[in-house]
A and B are shown apart, each in its own frame.
Chain A
Amino acid sequence: MAIVATIVFLLLRFSAGDPAAVLAGDAATPATIAAIRTRLGLDQPMAVQLVRWFWQLLHGDLGTSIISNQGVAHLIADRMAPTLALSLTTILFAILVAVPLGVVAAWKHGTIVDRAVMTFSVLGFSMPVFVLGYLWILGFAIKLRWLPVQGFSPLSAGIGPFLAHLVLPTLTLSAIYIALIARITRASVLEVLGEDYIRTARAKGVPERAVLMRHALANAAVPIVSVIGIGVALLIGGVVVTESVFNLPGLGRLTVDAVLARDYPVIQGIILVFSGVYVLVNLAVDLAYVLLDPRIRY
């Protein structure tokens, strides 16, 4: 994470744009902009700024937004709920849909069911998030008026509005995730179905459902769990667009806002949080291997 932090810090300093000019506004003179740069410490050598930021981080301080003058930790905490809710519902929904689809496709390998699942997968990969999002909005919000077009309702306002505001974003964001997991599940289960122990189980008269779930899926679980972990990165990318299309005030929107305003402390803080989440998810995946495959030991 220290490497990520350093790279992000340097990339931002080398990219075009100047937060002091953003703050100074349209009527600013060079002297005004220079004064703001000095006040923000942006006139200091890059190494000094980097050391100062690391020192803050070591004290648990993510800094203060240059633009809104609010604490970065506060801004991130304030925007965490929509992103967390959307991510969790997406992961849950994707797993619930994609794993059975992949298993069925492998089981019915070469049939029309298999082809249908694979066609759906290709569509899921190919369809841009924003196109899918608008299609859902057109159908379920504008035409049928079943669901809201946009916005987020916190859980504290009731489970109904909370879920209603998450249905369309979840359907949108999960498409690519379902496609990814379904393909990997199909490939893994297909490979396992060719193993000798599956043939033995079938020869012993084990019901097909048990063969699939207890023997095939259990043994194919490690690559599936791996891809679920890797997919979190996809999810983070997709969250940014999905939050814009459905106007969810989450971390994705905050990221775009901060980048457009060159709000260095906020961008740095969010990327640190995202990279921390990614590290934790991968750690959880590694730990899950032990549970899924007793042969794996650390």
Chain B
Amino acid sequence: MSVLTRRDFGKLGGAAALAASLPLAAQAAGPKVLRCVMHSGLRITDPIITTAYIARNHGYMIYDTLFAVDEKLQVQPQMVDHWDVSADKLTYSFTLRPGLKFHDGAPVTSADCIASIQRWGKRDGMGQKLMDFTASLTAVDDKSFKLVLKEPYGLVLSSLGKPSSNVPFIMPARIAATPADQNVPEEIGSGPFRFVKAEFQPGSKVVYEKNTDYIPRGEPASSLAGGKLVKVDRVEWINITDYQTAVNALANNEIDYIEQPPHDLLPILKSTDKVVVKDYNPLGFVGTCRMNFLLKPFDNPKIRQAVLHAISQQDWADAQIGNPDYSTLTGAMFIAKTPFATEVGFPPKPDLALARQLLKDGGYDGTPVVIMQPTDLAIVTALGPVTAQALRNIGMTVDLQAMDWQALVGRRAKQTPVAEGGWNMFHTTWAAADMLNPVANLGVNGRGRTGGWFGWAEDAQIEKLRDDFARETDPAQQKTIAENVQKRAYELVTYIPTGQYTMPYAYRDSVSGILAGPVPVFWNVDKTA
């Protein structure tokens, strides 16, 4: 019987180390591969049937959009070459850029754009609103189509250039014919990257290759707009569920980029050699506290207002982020430092005496408040206990129920009483880009049980204001209406913002050209050996 000596073992270790280093060495001479850890694994490849941000990001890889926002959030033409609007503001005409092709080689036509917009219009809130105002959407020829409105609508371009979920991506008409509640059967777009289906492992790995047929616009890249110039051959999204492992892998040069490293690991990353930590998404994200309007005690506006005056954004930010460099205290429902930002209606600081008085005026009878607390989503986990303590401070009874996020997702859809699986309150987070105006922001939706967002706030006045906003084409008037919407939303307390926060990217210093904007994109990004 042969026995491994210590020297043999050393040789084996050396061989293994050499072998492990081979792919990296080979990579230096071979194609440029960008290995990225995104915030989640891609499971659903259809960015229209889901609002998941990872599906949206995937959409930007393989699809293109008619319009897109630049880094100043201005809508710019993308697939569209030129467009115009009639003097009565009822007819929009669009002409596509020449040479646009899908990944299967077929040219992009007006019919593809119309089918894609119609499918998106069945799922997305802004899309539905646009379709409500649309009289017809018809092809003029293969490259031109026109949208005729029933009445002037101020959000046509910002709807078609909507930056975040759901984004009106353009697919071949045969794929866009898929029912809007079913995943598309193929991942064929006309975007700057192609989806490599053979290497797709749902929830684990996604591979994209450079689309060599893509014709970028002539303008420089700016966020989601401009020339989408691809500088690497291949992008791999590797889902590392354990962030400590992801950080170790970045330090060890096994990956190039982490989209959303948790705030508590940022000090480690900042002190790691050859790793850069930088924020490219200044709008960031927003936390929200949502109450259920259908059930006691939050069916009573005075009790909802009591909660509004009891909470402290500072406490939420301390628990959730713990670093003022990455958090902003703001009551701006349509996002601080953007065109419709306003603090109107938001209490400047907690007022427990007023909160207790409102609770008394509302006749609070001690009904326990069931707060659903997800324990597996770190960025949301800390919010529940802070809110629970704030409610206890004003004399409310709280039942903080721990569960995983998907249990919460299933339960929040229930409109039944608490005893039958219902709920009173939950917290969630949004990309700030989803909340930039009263139509896009689902939190101010007042459509109630049938058309409202979970919690089902119902209010005819706020719905009328949202419609007024949609009809308005003058930006100054839009801003006034947005202020009125926010004022009304705080009277109703449709939701409470827990504050805005940013999540910087971490990447190897060999990576360059990352674009600032609300969505992580990989055109313009380069990598040196």
Alpha-carbon gap, A25 to B55, bound state (A): 11
Determine the chain A residues whose CB is within 8 A of the CB of B13 once the complex forms.
Answer: 146
A207 close to B (CB within 8 Å): no
Which of B18, B41, B252 has a CB less than 8 Å from the CB of A142?
A: B252
B52 near A167 with CB under 8 A, answer no
A-B contact count (CB 8 A): 170
Q: Which residue of B lies closest to A39 (CB)?
A: B181
Contact A27 B442 (CB under 8 A): yes
- Interface assignment of A158: CB less than 8 Å from any CB of chain B: yes
On whether A23 and B50 interact (CB within 8 A), knowing A65-B202, A141-B252, the answer reads yes
**Cβ of B203 under 8 Å from chain A:** yes
Interface centre among A22, A160, A247 (most CB of B within 10 A): A247
Q: Is the CB of A149 within 8 A of B254?
A: yes
Contact A30 B241 (CB under 8 A): no
Q: Are the CB atoms of B409 and A21 closer together than 8 Å?
A: yes
Distance in angstroms from A240 CB to nearest chain B CB is: 11
What is the chain A residue whose CB lies nearest that of B447? Answer: A29
Note all chain B residues with C-beta closer than 8 A to A75: 202
**What is the distance, in angstroms, from A248's C-beta to the closest C-beta of chain B?**
10
B450–A30 touching, CB < 8 Å: yes
- B415 to chain A: closest CB distance in Å? 7
With an 8 A cutoff between CB atoms, is B17 at the interface? yes
Q: Would A257 and B15 count as touching, CB distance under 8 A?
A: no
Q: How far is the CB of A63 from chain B (nearest CB, A)?
A: 15
Name A15's closest neighbour in chain B (CB-CB). B407
- Contact A150 B245, beta carbon cutoff 8 Å: yes
Known contacts being A150-B249, A260-B404, is A253 close to B204, with CB within 8 Å?
A: yes
Partner of A247, one of B43, B44, B238: B238
- One digit per residue, 1 when the CB lies within 8 angstroms of any chain A CB and 0 when it does not, for chain B 266-293 equals 0000000000000000000000000000
CB within 8 Å of A: which of B226-260?
238, 240-242, 244-246, 248-249, 251-252, 254
CA distance A72 to B248 in the complex (A): 32
Looking at the complex, which one of A31, A157, A163, A247 makes contact with B16 (CB distance below 8 Å)?
A: A163
The answer to whether B51 touches A150 (Cβ under 8 A) is no
Q: Which residue of A lies closest to B415 (CB)?
A: A30
**Pairwise interchain contact B242-A67, C-beta atoms closer than 8 A:** no
Contacts A75-B202, A149-B252, A160-B19; is A26 near B407 (CB within 8 Å)? Answer: no
**A158–B20 Cα gap in the complex (Å)?**
10
B183 CB–A CB distance under 8 Å = yes
A109 interfacial contact with B, CB 8 Å: no
- Shortest Cβ gap from A89 to chain B (Å): 13
CB neighbours of A148 from chain B (8 A): 20, 252, 254
B50 nearest CB across to chain A (Å): 4
Tell me whether B366 is interfacial, beta carbon within 8 Å. Answer: no
Q: Which of B23, B376, B430 has the most CB of A within 10 A?
A: B23
Q: Contacts A31-B450, A141-B248, A160-B20 known; A151 to B238 CB distance under 8 Å?
A: yes
Complex: A28 Cα to B202 Cα, angstroms = 23
Are the C-beta atoms of A68 and B51 separated by less than 8 Å?
no
Residues of chain B with a CB closer than 8 A to A137's CB: 245, 248
Q: Does A78 contact B (CB under 8 A)?
A: yes
The smallest beta-carbon distance between B432 and chain A, in angstroms, is: 14
Q: Does A18 contact B (CB under 8 A)?
A: yes
Asked if A165 lies at the interface with its beta carbon under 8 angstroms from chain B, I say: yes
Instruction: For chain A, residues 156 to 182, give those with C-beta under 8 angstroms from any C-beta of chain B.
Output: 157-161, 163-165, 167
Contact A68 B203 (CB under 8 A): yes
Residues of B contacting A147 with CB < 8 Å?
16-17, 20
Question: A25-B51, A29-B450 are known contacts. Are A253 and B242 too (CB-CB below 8 A)?
Answer: no
Instruction: Specify the chain A residue showing the minimal Cβ separation from B18.
Output: A160
- Tell me whether B373 is interfacial, beta carbon within 8 Å: no
In the complex the two chains form, is B252's CB within 8 Å of A249's CB? no
Question: Do A262 and B52 touch across chains, with their CB atoms under 8 A apart?
Answer: no
- Establish whether residues B410 and A22, one from each chain, have CB atoms under 8 Å apart when the complex forms: yes
Contact B241–A69 (Cβ < 8 Å) = no
* A125 interface contact, C-beta 8 A: no
Docked-complex contact B252 and A145, CB < 8 angstroms: yes
Q: Are B245 and A163 in contact (CB under 8 A)?
A: no
Q: Tell me, in angstroms, the Cα distance from A68 to B52 when the chains sit together.
A: 13
Asked if B201 and A79 make an inter-chain contact with CB atoms under 8 angstroms apart, the answer reads yes
Q: Does any Cβ of A come within 8 Å of B22's Cβ?
A: yes
Given known A-B contacts A35-B181, A257-B203, A16 and B403 have beta carbons under 8 A apart: yes
Interface residues of A in 259-276 (CB under 8 A from B): 260-262
Residues of B within 8 A of A15 (CB): 407
Q: Which residues of A contact B202 (CB under 8 A)?
A: 65, 67-68, 70, 75, 257
A161 touches B23 (CB 8 A): yes
Q: Which residue from A17, A25, A149, A256 sits with its C-beta under 8 Å from B407?
A: A17
Q: In chain B between 59 and 93, which residues have their CB closer than 8 angstroms to a CB of chain A?
A: none
- Establish whether residues A33 and B43, one from each chain, have CB atoms under 8 Å apart when the complex forms: no
Q: Which residues of A contact B404 (CB under 8 A)?
A: 17, 260
- Contact A158-B252, Cβ < 8 Å, known A23-B50, A30-B413, A247-B242: no
Query: Contact at B182–A249, with CB atoms within 8 Å?
Result: no
Q: Which of chain B's residues has its CB closest to A69's CB?
A: B183
Chain B residues within an 8 Å CB radius of A262: 406, 410
User: Residue of A at shortest CB range from B51?
Assistant: A25
Query: Is the Cβ of A30 less than 8 Å from the Cβ of B449?
Result: yes
CA distance A266 to B166 in the complex (A): 27
- Contact (Cβ within 8 A) A23 B241: no
A282 within 8 A of B: no
Return the contact of B20 from the options A22, A27, A31, A161 (Cβ within 8 A): A161
Residues of chain B with a CB closer than 8 A to A67's CB: 43-44, 202
A27 touching B16 in the complex, CB below 8 Å, given contacts A150-B248, A158-B22: no
Counting CB contacts under 8 A, is A221 at the interface? no
A244 touches B242 (CB 8 A): yes
Cα(A169)–Cα(B43), bound, Å = 26
Cα–Cα distance between A18 and B18 once the two chains are bound (Å): 47
Q: Are A161 and B50 in contact (CB under 8 A)?
A: no
Q: Please give, as numbers and ranges, the residues of chain B lying within 8 Å of A247 by CB-CB distance.
A: 238, 240-242, 245-246, 249
CA distance A26 to B409 in the complex (A): 8
From B43, B205, B376, B411, contact of A16 by CB (8 A): B411
For the complex, what is the distance from the CA of A261 to the CA of B204, rounded to whole Å?
Answer: 14
A254–B203 touching, CB < 8 Å: yes
Q: Does B125 contact A (CB under 8 A)?
A: yes
User: Considering the chains assembled together, what is the distance between the CA atoms of A257 and B244 in angstroms?
Assistant: 18
Given contacts A29-B452, A244-B241, A260-B405, 15 further A-B contacts (CB under 8 A): A16-B403, A16-B411, A17-B410, A25-B49, A134-B244, A142-B248, A145-B252, A148-B20, A149-B245, A160-B20, A244-B245, A247-B241, A257-B41, A260-B404, A261-B406
Residues of A within 8 A of B (CB): 15-18, 21-33, 35-36, 39, 65, 67-70, 75, 78-79, 134, 137, 141-142, 145-151, 153, 157-161, 163-165, 167, 244-247, 249, 253-254, 256-257, 260-262
Query: Closest 9 interchain pairs by CB?
Result: A160-B19, A18-B410, A164-B20, A68-B202, A16-B407, A25-B51, A146-B17, A17-B410, A249-B204
Question: What are 23 residue pairs bridging A and B, where the CB atoms are less than 8 Å apart in the complex?
Answer: A17-B410, A18-B409, A21-B409, A23-B49, A26-B51, A26-B442, A27-B51, A29-B452, A30-B450, A39-B182, A79-B201, A147-B16, A147-B20, A148-B252, A151-B254, A160-B16, A245-B245, A249-B205, A253-B204, A254-B203, A254-B204, A256-B241, A260-B376
